[in-house]
Each structure stands twice: as structure tokens, then as C-alpha cells.
């Protein structure tokens, strides 16, 4: 009897030990970057350093003293402000990356076609904007591939292989799976509360926050549905240009075409 109990105990401990790597792979993380002073590059949290080994990018480490910004937008629908954002980008001759959802492709196809025609990089933000940290690799990939298929069907070209986790939620497994299937995961080194259309801050305050936190190699995340962003984007771009900043592409950030 004692031997049986001991055997079960050892077997249980072995099973737990073997499951630890899998559990670690499925640990859910939420991405964020603290705002820092004096235009310094924000530092990644120590428990997230693995992202760089799994083709995850949040800023340009190699830019040195070069004033380069990678302008990115997350967008799932049009409310009039996305088109205004595209107007500003065209006027200012700035290329950006748009991480889009399935809804935008099916309901605002011409808007997405315009993004492509205007020279922007259109990227994968998933079909449904769900937290995929507990999903299997198969289900996770299905979200990415379904968006690729929608894009191909409605836009007629291939979606860029850059992925941004919805709401910044991710796991090692997600990143490893994305990398194994040709995707590079793009985070950000600056964002601010601009996504709630019912809680838009003043234009003056928003502009102040954006400009106070600009840094070399920044991956800037904005939401183009924001009325405030649409109103100040031209001023922000012109101010950044006057300070010597230029706007780079994700291909440049990641060292090659996706």
C-alpha cells in the first residue's frame, strides 16, 4: 500500500514538473511601456525580455542618435476620423502602419484600399480582437489566417506579415507561434488613452503628452477613430518634423520585408 501511494506521489510530481514549461509558455502578459522623462527610450520590463527572441519589436534599439519614429494605428471601424487621418498623412507625405480588424475590411473596403493606394502598410490585428493568450496554436493561427483571407478576397493583395496583439495581451506561445509562421509581432513604446471616443481629452493636453514623450526609435501607437487625434495629427507631424524627426517603416524597423 505504501509503495502504491509513493508511486502515485512520484508520478504526480513528475507530471507537474513536466507541465511547468507548458504553463510558462501560456502565461498571459499585458504589454505596456511607462512614459519616461527627457525623451529617453522606455525600458522593457525584465519579465518580458523574451519578446525580442521571438521576433517581437517595441522600439528601434539600433537607431542611436537618429530621430526616427514608426507611426502605427490600430483600427477596427470607421467613424469619419479614419478618413480624416488618411487625409492628413497624405498632406504631410507620411507613411504609417495600420493594424486592422475583419470588420474594417468587410464594412469599409474602400477605406482599406485607400490605405494601400496611399502607400501605408496594412497589418494583422486579428479578425475579432479577442484575447488569444489561452487559445491553442491552431485557433490562434486561424484568427490570423482568416484575416489574411478576408483581406485577399476584398482587397486583392497580400496582408503584411506584421501582427499586433489585441489590447496588448500575449503569451510566449502566441509569439513563438507567430514567429514560426512568418509573423513579426509589433508592440509599441508610446501610447496614451485615446481609444474611448466618449472620453477624449483636449487637443492641447493630447498634443502635450505626445510631444513630451517622443523619443528616438519610437513605435507610436494611436487610434485613428479618435476625434482628438484626427484634429491634432497634422500639427504633431509638423512639429516633429521641425524637431528633426523622420517617419520610418516597419520593414526598416524589423530589418527587412515581412
- 136 backbone φψ class: left, alpha, beta (φ>0; ψ -120 to 50): beta
Residue 187 has pLDDT above 60, yes or no: yes
Cα(215)–Cα(164) distance, integer angstroms: 21
Residue 25: pLDDT band (50, 70, 90) is low
Predicted model pTM: 0.90
Q: How many CB atoms lie within 10 A of CB 58?
A: 24
Which CATH architecture best describes the domain 2-254?
Alpha-Beta Barrel (3.20)
Cα(189)–Cα(200) distance, integer angstroms: 21
pLDDT of residue 12: 42
Q: Name the active-site residue from 120, 125, 215, 223.
A: 223
Residue 26: pLDDT band (50, 70, 90) is confident
Q: What are phi and psi of 186, to 5 degrees?
A: -110, 115
Residue 114: pLDDT band (50, 70, 90) is very high
Cα(7)–Cα(4) distance, integer angstroms: 5
Assign 92 to helix, strand or coil.
helix
**Percentage of the chain with pLDDT > 90?**
89
195-213 residue pLDDT tens = 999 999 999 999 999 999 9
Q: What Rg, from alpha-carbon coordinates, does the chain have?
A: 21
Q: Name the active-site residue from 55, 60, 74, 194.
A: 74
Are the C-beta atoms of 186 and 220 separated by less than 8 Å?
A: no
Assign 132 to helix, strand or coil.
coil
145 is catalytic: no
> Mean pLDDT of all residues in the chain?
91
Residue 21 has pLDDT above 50, yes or no: no
Average pLDDT over residues 214-238: 98
Residue 11: pLDDT band (50, 70, 90) is very low
Q: How many CB atoms lie within 10 A of CB 208?
A: 12
134-168 residue pLDDT tens = 999 999 999 999 999 999 999 999 999 999 999 99
Give the burial class of 39: count Cβ atoms within 10 A of its Cβ; 0-12 exposed, 13-18 middle, 19 or more buried: middle
Q: Compute CA 47 distance to the chain's CA centroid, rounded to the nearest angstrom.
A: 19
Residue 69: pLDDT band (50, 70, 90) is very high
74 is catalytic: yes
Tell me the torsion sign for CA atoms 124, 233, 95, 86.
positive
Residue 177 has pLDDT above 90, yes or no: yes
Amino acid at each position: 500500500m505504501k509503495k502504491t501511494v509513493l508511486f502515485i506521489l512520484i508520478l504526480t510530481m513528475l507530471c507537474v514538473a513536466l507541465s511547468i514549461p507548458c504553463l510558462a509558455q501560456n502565461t498571459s502578459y499585458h504589454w505596456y511601456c511607462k512614459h519616461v522623462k527627457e525623451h529617453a527610450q522606455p525600458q522593457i520590463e525584465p519579465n518580458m525580455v523574451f519578446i525580442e527572441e521571438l521576433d517581437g519589436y517595441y522600439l528601434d534599439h539600433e537607431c542611436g542618435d537618429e530621430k526616427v519614429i514608426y507611426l502605427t494605428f490600430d483600427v477596427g471601424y470607421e467613424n469619419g476620423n479614419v478618413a480624416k487621418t488618411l487625409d492628413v498623412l497624405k498632406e504631410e507625405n507620411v507613411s504609417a502602419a495600420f493594424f486592422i480588424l475583419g470588420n474594417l475590411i468587410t464594412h469599409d473596403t474602400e477605406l482599406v484600399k485607400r490605405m494601400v493606394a496611399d502607400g501605408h502598410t496594412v497589418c494583422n490585428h486579428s479578425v475579432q480582437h479577442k484575447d488569444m493568450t489561452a487559445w491553442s496554436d491552431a485557433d490562434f493561427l486561424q484568427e490570423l489566417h482568416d484575416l489574411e483571407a478576408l483581406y485577399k478576397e476584398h482587397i486583392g493583395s497580400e496582408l503584411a506579415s506584421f501582427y499586433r496583439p489585441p489590447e496588448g495581451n500575449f503569451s510566449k506561445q502566441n509569439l513563438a507561434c507567430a514567429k514560426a509562421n512568418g509573423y513579426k509581432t509589433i508592440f509599441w513604446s508610446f501610447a496614451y488613452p485615446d481609444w474611448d471616443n466618449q472620453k477624449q481629452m483636449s487637443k492641447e493636453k493630447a498634443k502635450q503628452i505626445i510631444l513630451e514623450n517622443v523619443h528616438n526609435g519610437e513605435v507610436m501607437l494611436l487610434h485613428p477613430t479618435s476625434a482628438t487625434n484626427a484634429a491634432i495629427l497634422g500639427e504633431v507631424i509638423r512639429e516633429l518634423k521641425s524637431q528633426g524627426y523622420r517617419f520610418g517603416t516597419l520593414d526598416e524597423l524589423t530589418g527587412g520585408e515581412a
